[in-house]
Structure 1
Amino acid sequence: MDTISFLNEYKSGQRNFQGVTLHQAKLTKAELTGVNLSEADLSGADLSEANLSKCNLARANLTNADLSQANLHSANLSEVNLIGADLMKANLLDANLSRADLRGANLMWANLLGANLSEAEMSGAVLSGANLRAANLIGSNINESEFNDTELAEAIITELEMTGEILHMGLSHQWITWAGSY
């Protein structure tokens, strides 16, 4: 499906686009609240500043997608592929990123307040300046990730996998739940 057809169908009331292919689509600032894009191929897509709040993106392919400054508030991103994606300054408030693949993703200054990142693969991700307050990181892999100036107050980080090097994880003066060893 091409981008124009997709947007026209959305404007006409269609909300179910499960499995659609929108590889490298240009959807900057698109208004897509509540759309079902589960299992969609959005690899390389430009979704910067798009409104994807309450969207279902479960198991979607967003490899190398630009989601910078996108609104993903309460979105379902479980098992999504976000390898190398740009989520700088994205709003992921209360988003479900359980079992998401965020290897090498840029989450600088992203708002992940209350997000579910349980069992997420985040090795090599950049989370500098991100807000992970009250986020669920149970069972996540953060090997070689960057957490410079990251807000981790009240984050749940039990069973966190961090056997490799972690680049500047500032945990001083943070209120976190920790029940594991590293």
Structure 2
Amino acid sequence: MRELERYYRVLELEPGASLDEVNQAYKDLAFVWHPDRMPQDNQRLKDKAVSKLQQINEARDKLRSHKARLHVPSTRAASQSASNPTSQQTTTSKTTSRQAYSSQSRTPQEPSYQPPKPHPDLTGKDYSGANLTNRDFSGRNMSYANLKGANLSDTFMHKVNLFGADLSEANLFRANLLLADLREANLQSANLIGADLSGADLRGADLRGARVMIGDRVQVKLIGALLNGAIMPDGSIHE
């Protein structure tokens, strides 16, 4: 139990927190400690981030496994009941008793654990005007998706494929788009204030009219981003 408590502490949770709380804490901390968010010229911070991310991943995996085991129903009682019928029972009554017990043992309160299904392909998905704040689309294929006017604030989209997607007028306030594929994406009039586009591929993307500055300061993180051929907010083409 002490080891489980340590995993909860790594995720900054109280012991016994729900699986949803574990998953949310993991996403929050992974966002904070991702090595790509660290200054590229500070190896000490990058090494620390790698170590922290390993601890966070281990804690999440261990707690998920622990909670999965708690949801696997026990079959020992059923097998013992079936193997010790009274001598007065007939073959028919034995079968009926086993069936009745088996039916009772499969209660909704004890569902068997089912492994998570793979994420569906979201190519061309229509999310126009949708409220997707705080969702996790990391690693998903959303090429050519329609996200026009969608609320994607604080959304986790690390390594998401948004090739050719329509993000015009979308709210990407503080969205995590680390290493995202945004080639030829339409980002016209999108709100990118606070977004992290470090390492993202924006070649050929259209950012005309996108909100990227507060006053005279750029408020979008673009460390290592590829911008060749991108149409910038002022209409110029980046070379």
Instruction: Please give the range of the TM-score, normalised by the shorter of the 2 chains.
Output: 0.5 to 0.7
Q: Give the corresponding residue for 1:20.
A: 119
Q: 1:10-159 counterparts in 2 under 5 A? A: 19-21=118-120, 41-133=121-213, 134-149=219-234
Letter in 1 for 2:228: N
Q: Distance in 1 between matches of 2:234 and 2:225?
A: 19
Q: Distance in 2 between matches of 1:51 and 1:18?
A: 24
Larger Rg: 2
Q: Distance in 2 between matches of 1:98 and 1:132?
A: 16
Q: Distance in 2 between matches of 1:73 and 1:83?
A: 19
Superposition deviation, residue 115 in structure 1: 0.3
Q: Give the corresponding residue for 1:6.
A: none
Q: Distance in 2 between matches of 1:88 and 1:62?
A: 15
Q: Give the corresponding residue for 1:160.
A: none
Q: Which runs of 5+ in 2 are unaligned?
A: 1-19, 24-115, 214-218
Deviations 1:29-58 (A, max 9, x none): xxxxxxxxxxxx210100000110000000
1:141–1:20: structure 2 CA closer, same or farther, 3 Å change rule? Answer: same
Q: Distance in 1 between matches of 2:134 and 2:210?
A: 21
1:148–1:132: structure 2 CA closer, same or farther, 3 Å change rule? Answer: closer
Of the two structures, which has the highest relative contact order with CA contacts closer than 8 Å and spacing of 6 or more? 1
| RMSD (Å), alpha carbons | 2.1
Q: Distance in 2 between matches of 1:148 and 1:120?
A: 17
Q: Distance in 2 between matches of 1:19 and 1:149?
A: 41
Superposition deviation, residue 20 in structure 1: 2.8
Q: Distance in 2 between matches of 1:44 and 1:130?
A: 22
The answer to which structure has the higher helix fraction is: 2
Deviations 1:134-173 (A, max 9, x none): 11000000000001427xxxxxxxxxxxxxxx61x6xxxx
Structure 1 residue runs of 4 or more that deviate by more than 2 Å after TM superposition: 16-20
Q: Is the 8 A contact 2:119 2:140 kept in 1?
A: no
Q: Distance in 1 between matches of 2:117 and 2:151?
A: 20
Q: Which runs of 5+ in 1 are unaligned?
A: 1-13, 22-40, 151-165, 170-181
Deviations 1:50-90 (A, max 9, x none): 11000000001001000000000000011000000000000
Superposition deviation, residue 18 in structure 1: 6.7
**What is the TM-score with the length of structure 2 in the denominator?**
0.48
